[in-house]
Amino acid sequence: MGIMERAKRALSRRGFVGVLGTLGAGLVGLAACGTEATPTKAAAAVGASGTHQMAGMAGAATPVASGASGAMTADEMDKMHEAGIKAFPAKTAGLGGQPLAHRMEGEFKVFDLVAKKVQWEVEPGKFFEAWGYNGVIPGPELRVTEGDKVRVVVKNELAESTAVHFHGQMAPNAMDGVPFITQPPIKPGTNFTYEFVAKPAGTHMYHSHHNATKQVGLGLLGAFIVDPQDPKTRPAFDKEWTIVINDGPHGFTLNGKGFPATQPFVAKRGERVLIRYMNEGQLLHPMHLHGMPQQVIARDGYLVPQPFLCDTLTIAPGERWDVIVEATELGVWAFHCHVLSHAESEHGMFGMVTALIVKE
Ligand SMILES: [Cu+2]
């Protein structure tokens, strides 16, 4: 084995053990990756913006900016990158996307949503004023079965009007959630009740449809999952992982968090993992998993006529894609948006980066 080969193997082993060690030891909440944690010359080079995503964007837009990083030595840069990886998965307050329990009212499954402000920790120590459902970003996961009668009571505790659209559902027109087209806006301090029969099955979303650039950007969004009546009508899987993608004032996020506060997913070797992507942002996000292919099975909840394999799948705004990953390869596998300015800068990884961890 050559020296380079040996070094490479040692490195990848260290990376693997390092991340697993972090997971095993519990969540490490300390240093964010570089930018805020170590205000070195590198941070100065970023300029006034100071945030990860802006650093990334600046880097992408002006390759000349890399000249500025000449002020940073290779070791300094590597240290920042290493600190980010070692902090992963970093502990932050708040976890969105957890299933919301329903109550029964007659034949209806009833869910309660409250739109309100929340201080949301998107990366360790980095808070912003988000607008969310029930105080979390993404809002709680609503899950029903195809054919269920669904009632969602939305209370607006924001200072401006809102409305909720169940994206992908064939709801009656009056329940479509678009102010002045199908309903009056839900004024501050008032409620609106949505009722519809859940169809079609698949991976869907709910989100604001009023002042949406701001309201959805700030977090008024969530997953709406409709299980099929007969699970055998869909490819089998062992575990599922919903990934809500967003880009907004708080940066580039997966399930409301930016790396290193994103959550990795752990699978046992051989398990089939269903990944449900949904893009609530403004931009295309090509999601790239290292090590194993993604088998695409559905788009916008509808099964594709012929499943196909890929390693990078572009999720456009509004789209949902379901893929199955057979966790055949052991290790910690990087998993990130491949618009590189959404994921990695001279300060290390940030934003839309997570990992699939395959264990024995
Ligand atoms: Cu992206």
What's the pLDDT tens digit per position in 64-97? 344 445 689 999 999 999 999 999 999 999 999 9
- Ligand 1 centre to CA of 210 (Å) is 24
Average pLDDT, the chain: 86
Span from the CA of 132 to the centroid of ligand 1 (angstroms): 22
- Give 150 Cα–ligand 1 centroid separation in angstroms: 33
What is the Å distance from ligand 1's center to 282 Cα?
10
**Considering only 33-47, 58-72, 99-113, 214-228, which range has the smallest mean pLDDT?**
33-47
**Residue 115, CA distances (Å) to 164, 184, 328 in order:** 10, 16, 41
For residue 232, report the distance from its CA to the centre of ligand 1, in Å. 33
Give the integer Cα–Cα distance in Å for 278 and 290: 20
For residue 39, the SS3 value is coil
Rounded average pLDDT over 119-129: 97
The pLDDT of residue 282 is: 97
Structure tokens at 306: 């012929």
Given a cut of 70, is residue 352 above it in pLDDT?
yes
- The 10s digit of each residue's pLDDT in 230-265 is 999 999 999 999 999 999 999 999 999 999 999 999
pLDDT band for position 53 (cuts 50, 70, 90): very low
**pLDDT, tens digit, for every residue of 259-302?**
999 999 999 999 999 999 999 999 999 999 999 999 999 999 99
pLDDT of the residue at 24: 36
As a whole number of angstroms, the distance between CA 209 and CA 232 comes to 34
Exposed/middle/buried for residue 189 (C-beta within 10 Å: 0-12, 13-18, 19+): exposed
Interval between CA 104 and ligand 1 midpoint (Å): 39
Question: Is it true that the peptide bond before 260 is cis, omega within 30 degrees of 0?
Answer: yes
The whole-number pLDDT of residue 70 equals: 64
DSSP 193-262: EEEEE--S-EEEEEEE-SSHHHHHHTT-EEEEEEE-SSGGGS---SEEEEEEEEEETTEEEETTB-BTSS
Q: For residue 71, what pLDDT is reported?
A: 83
**pLDDT tens by residue, 167-188:** 999 999 999 999 999 999 999 9
Q: 284 C-alpha to center of ligand 1: Å? A: 6
Torsion angle, alpha carbons of 180, 186, 187, 191, to 10:
150
Distance 103 CA to ligand 1 centre (A): 37
Gap from CA of 342 to ligand 1 centroid (Å): 5
What value does the mean pLDDT take over residues 155-161? 98
Look at residues 47, 40, 33, 49 and name the one whose alpha carbon lies nearest to residue 73.
40
CB 244 within 8 A of CB 138: yes
More confident residue, 28 or 3: 3
Q: Is the pLDDT of residue 28 over 80?
A: no
**Residue 285 Cα to ligand 1 middle (Å):** 4
Rg over alpha carbons for the chain, rounded to the nearest Å, is 21
Distance 101 CA to ligand 1 centre (A): 31
186 alpha carbon – ligand 1 mean position (Å)? 32
Distance 286 CA to ligand 1 centre (A): 6
